[in-house]
Amino acid sequence: MFAPFLVAPAASSMDLGAMIAHSGPIGIFVMFTLIVMSIACWGIIVLKYKHLRIAEQQTRKFLDCFWNAADLDKVYHQAQNLRRSPVAQLFLAGYGELRRAGNDAEGSFAAELGSFENIERALQRGAIAERTELERMTSFLATTASAAPFIGLFGTVVGIIRAFQNIGLQGSASLAVVAPGISEALVVTAAGLGAAIPAVIAYNYFLSRIRVLRSEMESFASDFLNVVKRHFFS
């Protein structure tokens, strides 16, 4: 009476590796593409997280030094050791131009105005360079977040077409005939979502942290120009 419960279930041939292998050349290519994109995204996530964490730590350290130091030369030497801080690099760009302006100053109003504008342009160039560095590699996350579901959907459509072709060849629409092909097709969609979801979460997370650093740069540029105008230009 208990014999049906004692029989071990048959080993299923519908494991993940078999489904990928049976999905055809297009399915294998799509799955390989999604796996590569997912691995690249996770590598970028790890590197970007470390980069932004160090940038935030060094920025806090630099701002403390800048507002507590009485001499800009001391701040300059401190900023040289904080290469990962975008605000420190912004200061180096502006202070370098300030030193050149001090060496070339002729004492006239026109010369002072031109020197001040040069400092302002140096800060703008530095801000653009730092924003580019902060946003580097995040575009790949955005691309993966938007493209991976469609790549997976493409693989799924191709898999469903193959499944219907098999139904036509075998002349049967039973569950045993339909289920393997449909499951193989849906695996690619799952892979696409598995690549896209971490990418979109990480992209939005990094974008919010980059936005904070950009605000820090804009505020510092305004404050630095005010300090320069008040102490170095009449």
Q: Is residue 24 domain-resident?
A: no
Q: Is residue 26 domain-resident?
A: no
Torsion sign (Cα): 61, 64, 65, 67: positive
Given a contact cutoff of 8 angstroms between Cβ atoms, the answer to whether 59 and 220 are in contact is no
Q: How many domains does the chain have?
A: 1
Domain of 95 in residue numbering reads as: 31-232
Given a contact cutoff of 8 angstroms between Cβ atoms, the answer to whether 21 and 179 are in contact is no
Q: Report the pLDDT value the prediction gives residue 166, as an integer from 0 to 100.
A: 72
Q: Is residue 104 domain-resident?
A: yes
Rounded to 5 degrees, what are φ and ψ at 56?
A: -70, -40
Q: Is residue 22 domain-resident?
A: no
For 54-110, what is each residue's pLDDT tens digit? Answer: 999 999 999 999 999 878 888 999 999 999 999 999 999 998 888 876 655 555 444
Q: Report which residue type is found at 124.
A: Q
Residues 6+ apart with CB under 8 A from 94: 119, 122, 123, 126, 221, 224, 225, 228
For 1-43, what is each residue's pLDDT tens digit? Answer: 334 434 334 444 456 566 666 666 777 888 889 999 999 999 9
Q: Is residue 114 domain-resident?
A: yes
